[in-house]
Structure 1
Amino acid sequence: MDFTPDLLDDFITRKVAFFLGAGISAGVHTRTGESVKTWAEFLIETSKKTGQDELISEVKEFLDRKDYLFACELLKDHFADEWETILKSEYEKIGEITELQKAVLELKQRIIVTTNFDLFIERNWDLINTDATHNLQIKNGISADCFSVFRDEKDYLIKIHASINAPDTIIFSLSDYASKAHANWQYSTFIETLLNTHTVLFIGFSMDDATITNILAVYAKKYPRSRPHYAFLPDYTSDRKIKIMKSHRKLYILPYSSKDNHQELLVLLNELKQEIEKRKRLLLIDKKSI
């Protein structure tokens, strides 16, 4: 794959911000040897615990439409006070680092943004950043405090949907989105500021999140001459869709095959790392020749 010089230069100057979705946690194995469930698997299994055929059917209906928020809202309403315990029982599990997570962290960018509320990235960050002199700064949810990321040079993990170790702040259901994302002006302002100051690379993010894609569309209209952002997307073969993403969301698609558990994505990330090193050597040669 041809990575643009601009993108490679942004990696060299640590001006790329990773935006990690659920796909980055897929394939994680816990210390008990189990695989961590995807959102859909978790919601299906949890619905079966209700023992109510009608509710199980309704959850499946919304999942078939990829309306995870509504499916989640049904279960949150049903379990009420038990909901927090159910979430923690799955997403507080300790997971071993995957090759995909390792490849992302080895690119050593300063800002990681994620919609995931598990603890895999922060627990594995130290394994890769053995030369770091300061701790990773972790922000759970979007507040005014998060904007410090644009004013210093520290390493940050911004968990925009909060964290499982602060379950009352998590954005996971329809009502959570309404109160903590749509009604929070800091949420859209933070993401727009990130788009204006960094090159954002989406990994493991399906682009099905209407809030995020709407912010991208507004950004593209407000700043038509701004630099593009990038997204690795599996099996994205439609030239028409790729063109629309580029023109209406300022988003360059980096397509790959989902075969063999998205193995090609890992190959491309390792290839990206090699291209960054080549670019560094080339820039160094040019600098010495001046």
Structure 2
Amino acid sequence: MSTLVMLTCCGGCGGAISDGGRVLVFLGAGVSFGAARAGGRMTFDNEKYKPWPPHDLIDLGWSSGDDDLPLPFWPWLVHRMLRQLASFAESHEHVSLRKFFSEEGPLDCAQLFRQTVGEANYREFLLEQFDIGRHPFIQVTPSHTALRELNLPLLFTTNYDELIEAAYQQAGQPLRVSVSEQQFLARRAEKPARHLVKLHGSIDQPDTIVLTRTDYARARSDRKEMLSLLRSELVEASFLFVGFSLSDPNFGLIHDDIRLVYGMNLPASCTVQGRRDPVKER
């Protein structure tokens, strides 16, 4: 099912294309969400705007709307972490778990989960959520195909799955992928025709995944050149954000710094939304 639903922009993307400017794509979880479920992007947005945590969390028997399918968005992913921790924790810890997961941000929840379950179980958890090879029913969506057909030289994503790569592979088109800083430096030297920069790692290399607070902090130093490229492109190019909420912490730091320097003197960008939200647009 296609995840491309509604386009909100400041007139910049169309103008950039018609004027011969550069337009790049930044892909988030909303692109892949629909590959595992029929609701597609609309379901993604409707669920995302529900209050978190669910008000029936108090009994740890909540009905958060989580469908238990792979490729979840952040609230469902965090919900699954809490559910696993609660299933193994002593009953007297349930109140503390509930309090922690309702008061702390997702990065800290992921940090607690990883430290509690151990590296082997954490790795298995990630593979079960994002390894599309484990779930034969997951297929490349029309959105992935449409994005591939744009034939852009550079794409950024925070997604862990390999659906973007699969879209290019099915079409027999070469795509160079950078998952780590070392790979990125090598790919840049090659100057490939098509380059996918996976800022948060890839599930085929679970050790590269950026999810916990420590991961985010380490990424700012270990992936300096990857983030530096994103920063420079945000200044020079118009971006089409697809399935990306713009709330990622590291992205926010980069974008805040740019806006402090350039103000409104930046190329206009566009975002794909499941439904129009005028307050969020402002």
Q: TM-score, normalised by structure 2?
A: 0.69
Secondary structure in structure 1 of the residue aligned to 2:197: strand
Q: CA deviation at 1:5?
A: 7.1
- Alpha-carbon separation, structure 1, partners of 2:8 and 2:224: 37
> Does 2:161 correspond to 1:118?
yes
CA contact (8 A) 1:19 1:113 kept: yes
**Corresponding residue for 1:45?**
80
Moved more, 54-63 or 194-203: 54-63
Would the aligned equivalents of 1:44 and 1:56 in 2 still touch at CA under 8 Å?
no
Q: Contact 1:143/1:187 (CA < 8 Å) preserved in 2? A: no
Q: Return the offset for 1:54.
A: 6.5
Amino acid at match of 1:17: L
Paired residues for 1:1-290 under 5 Å = 7-8=13-14, 10-11=16-17, 15-29=22-36, 36-50=71-85, 51=87, 52=89, 64=102, 67-81=105-119, 82-94=121-133, 95-127=138-170, 129=171, 132=173, 135-143=174-182, 145-146=184-185, 152=191, 154-181=193-220, 184-224=223-263, 225-233=265-273, 234-238=275-279, 242-243=281-282
TM-score, structure 1 length as denominator? 0.68
How far apart, CA to CA, are the structure 2 residues paired with 1:228 and 1:191? 15
Structure 1 position 140, deviation (Å):
0.3
Q: 1:190 to 1:3 in 2, by over 3 A?
A: closer
Number of residue pairs matched by the alignment: 235
Matches of 1:59 and 1:193 in 2, distance apart?
41
One-letter amino acid of the counterpart of residue 158, structure 2:
T
Could you say what secondary structure the match of 2:24 adopts? strand
Which residue does 2:49 correspond to in 1? Answer: none
Is 1:111–1:157's contact at 8 Å kept on the other side of the alignment?
A: yes
Partners of 2:242 and 2:271 within 8 A in 1? yes
CA shift for structure 1 position 192: 1.0
What is the alpha-carbon distance in structure 2 between the residues aligned to residue 101 and residue 205 of structure 1? 14
Q: What residue identity is the alignment partner of 2:254?
A: I
Q: Is contact 1:113-1:159 (8 Å) kept? A: yes
RMSD over aligned Cα, in angstroms? 3.3
> Partner amino acid for 2:145?
K
Give the conservation status (yes or no) of the 8 Å contact 2:70–2:130.
no
Of the structure 1 ranges 99-108 and 188-197, higher mean CA displacement relative to structure 2 is found in 99-108
AA aligned to 2:72 is K
Bigger shift: residues 64-73 or 205-214: 64-73
Deviation at 1:229, TM superposition (A): 2.4
The one-letter code sitting in structure 1 at the alignment partner of 2:251 is I
Distance 1:173 1:70 in 2: 6
Q: Which moved more, 1:177-186 or 1:116-125?
A: 177-186
Letter in 1 for 2:107: L
Question: Is the contact made by 1:62 and 1:68 (CA closer than 8 Å) also made in structure 2?
Answer: no
**How far is 1:26 from its partner?**
0.9
Find the counterpart in structure 2 of residue 249 from structure 1: none
Q: What code does the residue aligned with 1:7 have?
A: C
Structure with larger RCO (C-alpha < 8 A, sep 6+): 2
Task: Note the alpha carbon deviations across 1:128-151, whole angstroms, 9 max, x for none.
Answer: x55x4xx10100034583596599
Whether the aligned pair in 1 keeps the contact of 2:8 and 2:272 (CA below 8 Å) is no
* Compared CA separation, residues 3 and 21, structure 1 to 2 (3 A): closer
CA contact (8 A) 1:24 1:204 kept: yes
Amino acid at match of 1:48: R
Give the fraction of aligned pairs with identical amino acids, expressed as a percent.
20
Unaligned segments of structure 1, at least 5 residues: 244-290
Cα distance, 1:106 vs structure 2: 3.0
Provide structure 2 residue ranges, at least 5 long, that are not aligned to the other structure.
1-6, 38-68
